[in-house]
Amino acid sequence: MVKQERAARTRRSLIRAAAEIFAAEGFVPASLTMISRRAGVSNGALHFHFTSKEALAGAVEEEAAREVRLITESRGCDEAPVLQLLVDATHALMRRLDEDVVVQAGFELSGDLSRPGGVDLRRQWRCWVEGILQRAASDGGLADGVAPDQAADALLAATVGFEVLGARDGKEWLSRPALTRFWELMLPGLAARPDSLVTRGSPGAACPRANEA
């Protein structure tokens, strides 16, 4: 039991170390030696858990996908408009990208040209966004003429932009004010009643972790 716990802890620290190296250096230049050194474990221990760099990247993506599901499965307040879920979830996603290197590396890996395939976090996110927009449309929550699938594309592009700029040019791209200003610009064209929505995110709902902690 103690041995199993230790193995699970080693596995987690390898995933985290891999995420840190992938996020800082990119997938191609990263080596298993850099990762095992960062995790403070031997090469043998690394190979016990992961047979290749690709397997480690897959584990980082799986873990990041789990975090994204935690965000998108958060229900929010029943009384709030459907679009508020979307605003809140984008704030929560940016916060996870800012705070959790595994989520950041997971998205980076999804966008790495040298590494096609694997869990596609961007697709997962877009799919959820489109579902929310469809619900909003059937509730009459979208502005006239807005098609959910087309709006989902525009919102995906913006999310990817913030994510990429946050990784490259500084964490302020992932900050609540940056995303709030984006929603202030976007909601008048997207929502039937933009004034009913809180662009900086509902109090307390911005991150599912806040409720869990």
Among 70, 80, 137, 186, binds its own copies (CB under 8 A): 186
In whole angstroms, how close is the CB of 166 to its own copies at the nearest point?
A: 9
Q: What angle do CA 173, 100, 151 make, to 5 degrees?
A: 50
Q: Is 125 in the site for its own copies (CB under 8 A)?
A: no
What separation in angstroms does the CA of 205 have from each of 79, 172, 178? 13, 21, 18
User: Would you state the structure tokens that stand for residue 65, as one six-digit string?
Assistant: 């996908």
Candidates 41, 116, 108; CA nearest to 49 is 41
Q: Is 160 in the site for its own copies (CB under 8 A)?
A: yes
* Site track 74-113 with its own copies (rule: CB under 8 A), x = hit: ----------------------------------x--xxx
CB within 8 Å of 31: residues ≥ 6 apart: 53
Handedness of CA 202, 207, 212, 213 (dihedral sign): negative
Among 17, 167, 197, 205, binds its own copies (CB under 8 A): 167
Residues at the interface with its own copies (CB under 8 A):
23-26, 28-29, 108, 111-114, 122, 143, 145-147, 150-151, 153-154, 156-162, 164-165, 167-169, 173, 178, 181-182, 184-190, 194
